[in-house]
Structure 1
């Protein structure tokens, strides 16, 4: 019987030799790029007044979330690959699980808030400054963080008080809730219900907000007469659309984990996509596709 004084063992890394070294280096490089890129975005937004707009304010929040989210998983994964350090304490496991899902929830809610920001900018351009005032922006950011952390708190509290028995091996490279529940020796219907409610609120709720916002945006764009102006208007949403596609692709993989007969572990692929790939791509998406950010970078380098 496991309790808060015991520990779990995460799945061992099965590759050896040169393959192990290559995967470790790739993961380490991607993690360092994620940290450096997202720190760069936040620094640029703080330094340049031209980036003191609602869109970049929410982007800086998104960068902070992604930097924290990848830090909850990647360092331990690197430790498993490099040193075989698969042991994690009971409390540490629960904290890792909580912060992973809480920060992921904040991500999805912020994406919905950014979609609303794009809706106001395109459909109500004359009222944009009035509607998206600093007070509302701060309120939406605070609500996003609070909802993300509060939404995942009830399932975590229930999981912390579950009874575990038998093997303590978690079939994952981090403390994901599904492999943890496989070790429980009591009824898990309550926590499954709480997880369903929490995920429905964040993933499904934010997705509905994004779809509604972009439906109205697309309808407004089609009313523009010239094709060039249509593309110019839609290009202001392109970076956000790419991030939405990346994040919700991970959610699709998580849904496919319930389908039997696949050789690929979709749950692990979803974690890699949402905590390693997406945070690493975020800085590139918003720098390579945004002239204002590129100008800010060039200004800093020319000043140096």
Structure 2
């Protein structure tokens, strides 16, 4: 990813959250706890899926990929944000800012695509159960996942390339807690039409197209479920989709609010709160939502804890 070398600004200052000095340590502790919880929750899901043969299915393969992604998703922004609460200097280099932007957008793009692949898997399982093992083969799941990762990183590379080619003459103060698209475009002192157009087109592709797949998948799922005669079967079908639907609604709603608005609008505290929602709160609650509503994962966790308790009693 080639970065512009004609910008007069060599570093940016991240303002972060406007809070009283005596609350800095408190917010540092809150973000640190949230970060550690996200790491612990997602590592538990990954270990649970990969150590239980009963969970070696496409649905849990995609879920473990989502957990792996969210570990890095929060790592891109939270450590730097936490450091700003306890440090006087809030600078980030031009290259560091572009690198943070690239990985944050890449992982966000990949999550959008993975959240579209997961309901497609549920659509095949519920609407075409007799062909499920044929359609969702291991190789198909692998290629779908790799396609999500490669597409997410490629589209982000194009967006960041255009943003990095803009000239930043000053001021260099970013009214945000991490390097994001809108704050950077607001600081540019050159024509940014191409960068704005590229960002808008990419946002439509990466947000609206996967969202269309999600909506269509659930339309077919709901139509099929209503034709299931068994009340138990109907309840089971809905329970497998409900947790994913909650995650999708929260993630896409906040992402569309931030990334499909005009990019030259000034960044207010509302934007930072919404960004904190999808950058911190959503990754924090995603594993909880999936685990609490998924009986198979709860059973597997209980088995792991039981085996550990038995092995400790032996010693």
Q: What is the aligned counterpart of 2:286 among 253, 278, 282? A: 282
- 2:32 counterpart of 1:20: no
Aligned to 2:83, the other structure's residue is in SS state helix
TM-superposition CA deviations, 1:247-282 (whole Å, max 9, x none):
012124316865999996342123211110111112
Residue 272, structure 1, aligned to residue 272, structure 2: no
Among 178, 183, 186, which residue is 1:182 paired with? Answer: 186
Following the alignment from structure 2 to structure 1, what is the Cα–Cα distance between the partners of residues 184 and 267? Answer: 21
1:87–1:261 distance in 2 versus 1, CA, 3 Å? closer
- Distance, in Å, in 1 between the alignment partners of 2:22 and 2:196 is 40
CA contact (8 A) 2:185 2:264 kept: no
Change (3 A) 1:220 1:188: same
| TM-score (norm. length: structure 2) | 0.91
Aligned residue pair count? 304
1:166 aligned residue: 170
Of the three residues 206, 210, 220, the one matched with 1:202 is 206
Structure 1 Cα separation of the partners of residues 12 and 65 of structure 2: 33
State the match for 1:135 in structure 2: 139
Q: C-alpha displacement at 1:20, in angstroms? A: 2.5
Q: In the alignment, is residue 217 of structure 1 matched against residue 224 of structure 2? A: no
Partners in 1 of 2:152 and 2:260 — Cα distance?
Answer: 24
Range with greater deviation from structure 2 (280-289 or 53-62)? 280-289
Q: Could you say what the CA RMSD is over the residues aligned between the two structures, in angstroms?
A: 2.3
Residues 77 and 139 from structure 1, CA distance in 2 versus in 1: closer, same or farther, beyond 3 angstroms?
same
What is the CA–CA distance in structure 1 between the aligned matches of 2:265 and 2:102, rounded to whole Å? 30
Given the superposition, is the C-alpha separation of residues 150 and 263 from structure 1 closer, same or farther in structure 2, using an over 3 Å criterion?
A: closer
Alignment match of 2:13 (pick from 9, 23, 38): 9
Structure 2's unaligned 5+ residue stretches are 309-315
Which residue of structure 2 lines up, in the alignment, with residue 234 of structure 1? 238
Unaligned stretches of 5+ in structure 1?
none
State the alpha-carbon separation in 2 of the partners of residues 208 and 292 from structure 1: 29
Does structure 1 retain, via aligned residues, the 8 Å contact 2:181–2:263?
A: no
Aligned residues of 2:34 and 2:284 also touching (Cα < 8 A): yes
Match of residue 52 from structure 1: 56
Measured after TM superposition, the shift of residue 139 of structure 1 is: 0.4
